[in-house]
Amino acid sequence: MDTSTLTTFLPIILIIGVFYLLVMRPQQKKRRAQQEKLSTVRPGDEIMTTAGVFGTVASVGDDKFDLEIAPGVRVTMLKAAISQIVTEPAVSSEPQDPSSTDSAS
Residue-wise pLDDT tens digits, 2-29: 778 888 889 999 999 999 889 899 999 9
Closest CA to 56 of 80, 32, 74: 74
Residue 60 has pLDDT above 80, yes or no: yes
3-state DSSP helix/strand/coil % of the chain, to nearest 5: 45, 30, 30
Confidence label for 59 from pLDDT (cuts 50, 70 and 90):
very high
State phi, psi for 33 to the nearest 5 degrees. -65, -40
- pTM, full prediction: 0.58
